[in-house]
Amino acid sequence: MPLAHPFDDDKLKEECGIFGAVGVADAANFVALGLHALQHRGQEAGGIVVHDPVHGFNSARRMGYVRDNFTSHEVMQTLPGNVGIGHVRYSTAGNKGQTAIRDVQPFFGEFSMGGAAIAHNGNITNADALRRELIERGSIFQSSSDSECIIHLMARSMGRTIPDRMEEALRKVEGAFSVVAMTRTKLIGVRDPLGVRPLVLGKFGDGYMLASETCALDIVGAEFIREVEPGEMVVISAKSGVQSHFPFRRRQSRFCIFEHVYFSRPDSILGGRSVYETRENIGRELAKESPVEADLVCPVPDSGTPAAIGFSLQSGIPYAMGIIRNQYMGRTFIEPSEQIRNMGVRLKLNVNRALIRNKRIILVDDSVVRGTTSRKIKDMLLDAGAAEVHFRIASPPTAWPCFYGVDTPQREKLLAATMTEDEMRDHLGVDSLKFISLDGLYRAVGEAEGRDPKAPKYCDACFSGEYPVAPTDMIEKGFQLKAAE
C-alpha cells in the first residue's frame, strides 16, 4: 500500500473519484482506465463492482494505486460483465493514514428486487445523526464511511425499484454528493441539489459512462455528452438509454470553486470551461491585482503551472521552470528514514540553481494551507541564491475547513485562520505575499462582475466561511459558524 507522502500534507485533497460504465463488453476494464485517469482524486485505495448474467455480482477492493491493482489479467478476469462502477479514495481527515479495506467503496447491498452497488464522492454532513438513528433501528454497519448510510437508508425504503429507493434515501441526506450506482442492468448517477461535486455523462458506442471528470472519458475514448445537472438523477441502460428526472427541489447551484483552482485535472472541462484556461485566467487576474517587479515567474509544480503562465503573459515577466519536480516520487516512498525525512521537499522538488541565482523570483502556487511546504520552498530558493522571493497565490486565503468531501485540517491549523496576510508573509519569510481576491477568482471563472455576496454562484466556504449546507454533525461537535456580518 502506498503510504502518504511525508511532504504532501500541505495541500487540500479531494477525497474521491467515481466512474461507471454500462452497455460495454468487459466494463471493468473501462472502469479501471477511468479510475486511473481520476487517480489524482484519491490515491489510498480503489474498488470495482461489476455484474454479469452468469456470474452475478463480483467485486475487488484494494489498497494503493489503480495501476498496481487493476491491470493484471488475474484480477480483471474475476470481474466479468457489461455494467460496473468504481471508486478511488483518500482517507478522511479523521482517519489519516488509517484507511481500512472495509472502508473502500463501492458498497454493495442485496435487496428484495436484486443487488445494487453504490459509490459516492462528497460528504454527508448529517451522517453521524443518520448513523445513530439507523443503528438504533437495527442496522449493522460494516465500515466507518458515511456513504454506507445510503445503502442502509435504501434497505429501509419501501420503494418498488432500486432507483426509487435511492431517491428516498438521498432525500434524507444533507451535504454534497455525486453518486454512481448500479443494478444488474442499470447504471445510475445522481448529483445533490447544489451540484457541489462534479459528475459527467459520456457515450461509447452503444454504451454509456459516468465519471467525476471529463479526463476519465477521454482516456477510454468516450464522447463527452454533458454534465449531470445539479439535483438530477440519470438511470441508464443499454436498452433504454438515458432517462432523466429531478427528485429534489430546484435550488441555485453552488459548484465547488476549488475544483477550478486545484482539484480537477487541467485537461478536464468544467461548466463548459477548460480547467487549464481558467487557471491561466486566474494567473492573469493575480498579475493585475498584485503586480511586483521581478525577473522571473516560476510555478510550484505542477499545480501552480497554468496560473504562473497566465501571470507571466499578463505581466510580461518571463516564465521559467525555476523548480523541477521529481516525476517519479509519487506517493510510494516507503518508510523513509529520519535522515531522509529531514531532507524535506528536496526529495520531491529541486531548484534550478543556474536559472534563479541572483534573480528576483515570483513564485506562483495554487494555495497556502498550513504553510509548511511554502517555507521550505522559499528556503530552497534563497539557499540557491535567489535575490528576492515573492509569493503569489492563485486562490484566496483558505481560512475555513471544507465539510463537503475535501480533506481539510481543523480550522486552527489553517494559516489564514490565525494570521493576517502580512503576518503570513512574515511567517513564511518572503519579500511579499499576495492572494487573489475572491472577486478576482470569480472573474477568472467567468463571472465578470465578481462574486455576488447575496447569491454567490459557487461554493466558496473554504474562503468565505459561508456554508451553503449547514454542517450539522460538526455543529453538534461544537464547530462555530462564521458570525453574520
Where in the sequence numbering do the catalytic residues fall?
16
Distance, CA of 324 to chain centre: 24
Q: Which helix H or strand E contains 279, and what residues bound it?
A: helix 275-289
Distance, CA of 71 to chain centre: 23
Task: Return the closest-CA partner of residue 151 out of 129, 136, 173.
Answer: 173
Q: Grid coordinates representing 373?
A: 511546504
253 backbone φψ class: left, alpha, beta (φ>0; ψ -120 to 50)? beta
Residues 234, 238, 239, 241, CA torsion sign: positive
Instruction: Give Dmax over CA atoms of the chain in angstroms.
Output: 72
Q: What angle do CA 171, 257, 98 make, to 5 degrees?
A: 70
Beta-strand runs (E) in 145-215: 175-182, 186-191, 200-204, 207-211
Partners of residue 19 on adjacent β-strands: 86, 211
* Peptide linkage before 106 cis (omega within 30 of 0): yes
Give the chain's length: 485
For residue 96, CA distances in Å to 73, 79, 147, 345 come to 32, 30, 18, 20
Which residue is listed with cell 442499470?
Answer: 186
Residue 379: burial class (beta carbons within 10 Å; 0-12, 13-18, 19+): middle
Alpha helices by DSSP H, 420-477: 421-428, 438-444, 461-464, 472-476
Q: What angle do CA 156, 160, 166 make, to 5 degrees?
A: 55
Q: What angle do CA 225, 226, 227 make, to 5 degrees?
A: 145
Alpha helices by DSSP H, 112-258: 127-136, 148-156, 162-171, 214-220, 258
Exposure string of 205-236, with b = 16+ CB inside 10 Å and e = fewer, is eebbbbbbbbbbbbbbebebeebbbbbbbbbb
Beta-strand runs (E) in 30-155: 45-52, 56-63, 83-89, 107-111, 114-124
